A = this chain, B = another copy of it.
Amino acid sequence: MSLRYVPYHELERIRSLDADPRERAAAFADACRLNVLYMVMRAGSGHIGTSFSCIDILSWLHLEVLGDDDRYFSSKGHDAPGLYSVLIGLGRIEFDKLHALRRLGGLPGHPDVLATPQVLTNTGSLGMGVSKARGFVLADRRLGRSGRVFVLTGDGELQEGQFWESLQPTANRGIDELTVIVDHNKLQSDTWVERVSPLGDLAAKVRAFGWQVGRCDGNDVHALAAELDRLASEGEGAPKLLIADTRKGAGVHRMEPHDVPDEETSLYGFHSGAPVADDYEAGVEEIAARLARRLGRDVELVEEPLPRRTPPELPQRLIEAYSRAILDLGEREPRLVALDADLRLDTGLVRFRDTYPERFFECGIAEQDMVSMAGAMALGGLLPVCHSFACFVTPRANEQIFNNATEGTKVIYHGSLVGIVPGGPGHSHQMIRDIALMASVPGMAAIEPYCDAEVAAALEWAVRDAEGPVYLRLVSPPWELGFDPPVTQLEQGRGTVLREGDDGVFVCTGPVLVSQAWAACELLAGEGVRFGLAALPWLKDVDGAWLAEVAAGAPIVCLDNHYVVGGQGDAVLSALAAAAPESAAQVRKFGVDRVPVCGANDEVLRAHGLDAESVAARALSMLHSRV
């Protein structure tokens, strides 16, 4: 199969059209849509739906509104492919980067100022946009500069408390340099905003905070241009917010949602991830045909083969295993209730929700609210399990998690999408700090399984045996181990010895690192070095005596799919220092030593020295330096 993109000279030609600027922007937006499709298909993942809903807005702003002193950034951030395609079309990002979405050295899955200087601030974690905009304006005022700031937000994003926290101070300071545009496409990650956590009367709410509010069709450039003009001329001294009614996936019929918010519907299929070939072809055809009508000629497209990707053959699928496990435990433990923050598909809750609708609580993108609500539910006699990606729930609701832990109740926290892979979304989603954030809660247990069977055992332990709160850490992408995991029992503080070896032992968990360590053992064996491997699911309260016995005096190499500070390696080191001090002198920690890079999974593992080859080489070099 082949892909098609709009070459730079064609983009230049379109944006130089001698036409009504609004028609020109609409044509440019369509050309950019084609390139978004290309980028995401080539990357194998990326957010099409939200890029399409806002790309008419992006095109109009960048072609006609923004001056040299003005700033634009997206608070939602996952519309990055949309922004990149526009900036590439403007010649502000070099064209070749079109081929490198979500690749090392290319364009990150979410905005990153260090990787892409045209990007003004890092986003990807929601709700920060208005606070940042005010910071830019106040810095400008202080330094004698001027300029307007335009910020795009999502609508699901408006469930985050920080958005509301930021509104009143912005009005109080009279930040009328700011226009917020809400890309109101009515759908958030899983499904309709109205079905997840309705926003109520958004315009009335924002007005009550002292803002000037407008509303228009955000996929109609004529309406958009008029409403932006109107807003700019009104409400002196007040910040402005424009509710842009858009369609998620706008511009490709089959990528737009076709049911209605008040019906029980299936999940929206184009939030993230690349479309199937058929949808891609239909999308290109529809956009190209519309663009041809706009231009009065065919748009020039360049063909490029779709990169081959081989899916794993017999991977561990931890999220699916979790999905089965919580369904099973739900049946056996009637007090168990599941709380979700708009990620029920990604956290494995779809079946639980369908089976136990009265025990499923959809909280929307409101992690703090979810966690505090769970705390009271636990006080009230339930056993709540909170679900989200680790990157969102463990830092944003950290104070709430600690608060719950001080009450002597049990709340379980499911944090998935942990570690540096998938590498495509970038550092806002590559969670490498959650062990430090959760292990530092007194009384919190923390556990990360490496295979499907251990997921079930871990949840069983958390629900049935644990006395206090538990953090359950889960790698999300299906991942091949390279061996069949043996059947074992979960034993507190201890792990599974997967390989024996006299020259050293790797200690780690999670399918990503266990697979790399296994392969590293093989590589080392080829060099005549016998390394063992212990999969240790406990991220805290490690049984140091057991581990010392496993290592039997040999070097212990801890591999952390986490920042090297505060990860499992530190727990191992502490446990050994207390229980078997001489073994503490034998510990080396390999982990992530900086903000994770964005890229394909193998690129990212290699860049951080955590792929099998690097691990083997680092272990060898360590052994040599000890001689």
> CB distance B589 to A577 under 8 Å?
yes
A41: Cβ under 8 A from any B Cβ:
no
For A432, the closest partner residue in chain B by CB is B442
Residues of B within 8 A of A366 (CB): 165-166, 169
A406: Cβ under 8 A from any B Cβ:
yes
> CB distance A125 to B403 under 8 Å?
yes
> CB distance B407 to A121 under 8 Å?
yes
Residues of B within 8 A of A569 (CB): 574
> CB distance A440 to B566 under 8 Å?
yes
Residues of B within 8 A of A131 (CB): 368-373, 376, 400
> CB distance A209 to B205 under 8 Å?
yes
Residues of B within 8 A of A381 (CB): 139, 143
> CB distance B359 to A169 under 8 Å?
no
A327: Cβ under 8 A from any B Cβ:
no
> CB distance A359 to B135 under 8 Å?
no
Would A407 and B122 be within 8 Å (CB), given that A372-B162, A565-B440 are in contact? yes
**Interchain nearest-CB distance for A115 vs B (Å):** 10
Among B200, B208, B436, point to the contact of A171 (Cβ < 8 A): B200
Which residues, 570 to 627 on A, are CB-close (under 8 Å) to B? 570-571, 573-574, 577-578, 581-589, 592-595
Residues of B within 8 A of A586 (CB): 581
Among B380, B406, B427, B540, point to the contact of A595 (Cβ < 8 A): B406
Would A375 and B132 be within 8 Å (CB), given that A197-B172, A570-B566 are in contact? yes
Which residues, 544 to 586 on A, are CB-close (under 8 Å) to B? 563-566, 569-571, 573-574, 577-578, 581-586
**Interchain nearest-CB distance for A381 vs B (Å):** 6
Residues of B within 8 A of A566 (CB): 436, 439-440, 566, 570
Q: Tell me the bound Cα distance from A582 to B372 in angstroms.
A: 45
Among B128, B369, B443, point to the contact of A162 (Cβ < 8 A): B369
**Interchain nearest-CB distance for A396 vs B (Å):** 5
> CB distance A577 to B588 under 8 Å?
yes
> CB distance A436 to B443 under 8 Å?
no
For A426, the closest partner residue in chain B by CB is B406
For A439, the closest partner residue in chain B by CB is B565
Which residues, 501 to 547 on A, are CB-close (under 8 Å) to B? 540
Residues of B within 8 A of A432 (CB): 442
Q: Tell me the bound Cα distance from A452 to B67 in angstroms.
A: 49
Which residues, 336 to 378 on A, are CB-close (under 8 Å) to B? 337, 358-359, 361, 363-364, 366, 368-377
> Residues 196-225 of chain A: 1 if any B CB is under 8 Å from the residue's CB, otherwise 0?
011111001101111000000000000000
Among B168, B204, B361, B368, point to the contact of A208 (Cβ < 8 A): B204
A61: Cβ under 8 A from any B Cβ:
no
A95: Cβ under 8 A from any B Cβ:
no
Task: Kindly state the interface size class of chain A when it binds its partner.
Answer: 35 or more
A307: Cβ under 8 A from any B Cβ:
no
Residues of B within 8 A of A168 (CB): 159, 197-200
Q: Tell me the bound Cα distance from A364 to B169 in angstroms.
A: 9
A279: Cβ under 8 A from any B Cβ:
no
Residues of B within 8 A of A588 (CB): 577-578
Residues of B within 8 A of A205 (CB): 205, 208-209
A112: Cβ under 8 A from any B Cβ:
yes
Residues of B within 8 A of A441 (CB): 433
> Residues 376-420 of chain A: 1 if any B CB is under 8 Å from the residue's CB, otherwise 0?
110111100000000110011011101101111000000000000
Q: Tell me the bound Cα distance from A113 to B166 in angstroms.
A: 32
Residues of B within 8 A of A10 (CB): none
Residues of B within 8 A of A373 (CB): 131-132, 134-135, 138
> CB distance A128 to B442 under 8 Å?
no
Q: Tell me the bound Cα distance from A396 to B338 in angstroms.
A: 23
Residues of B within 8 A of A337 (CB): 142
**Interchain nearest-CB distance for A184 vs B (Å):** 15
**Interchain nearest-CB distance for A130 vs B (Å):** 8
**Interchain nearest-CB distance for A620 vs B (Å):** 18
Residues of B within 8 A of A122 (CB): 403, 406-407
> CB distance B376 to A139 under 8 Å?
yes
Residues of B within 8 A of A400 (CB): 128, 131, 162
A-B contact pairs, 12 of them (CB 8 A): A135-B377, A135-B380, A138-B361, A161-B163, A166-B369, A168-B198, A200-B208, A201-B210, A205-B205, A398-B437, A402-B433, A443-B594
Q: Which 8 pairs of residues, A with B, have the shortest CB-CB distance?
A: A135-B376, A139-B380, A161-B161, A161-B165, A164-B164, A436-B440, A131-B372, A135-B373
Known pairs A127-B368, A439-B565. 18 more at Cβ < 8 A? A113-B408, A122-B407, A127-B161, A138-B377, A161-B166, A165-B366, A168-B199, A168-B200, A169-B197, A169-B363, A169-B369, A395-B399, A406-B428, A440-B563, A443-B594, A564-B574, A565-B571, A570-B573
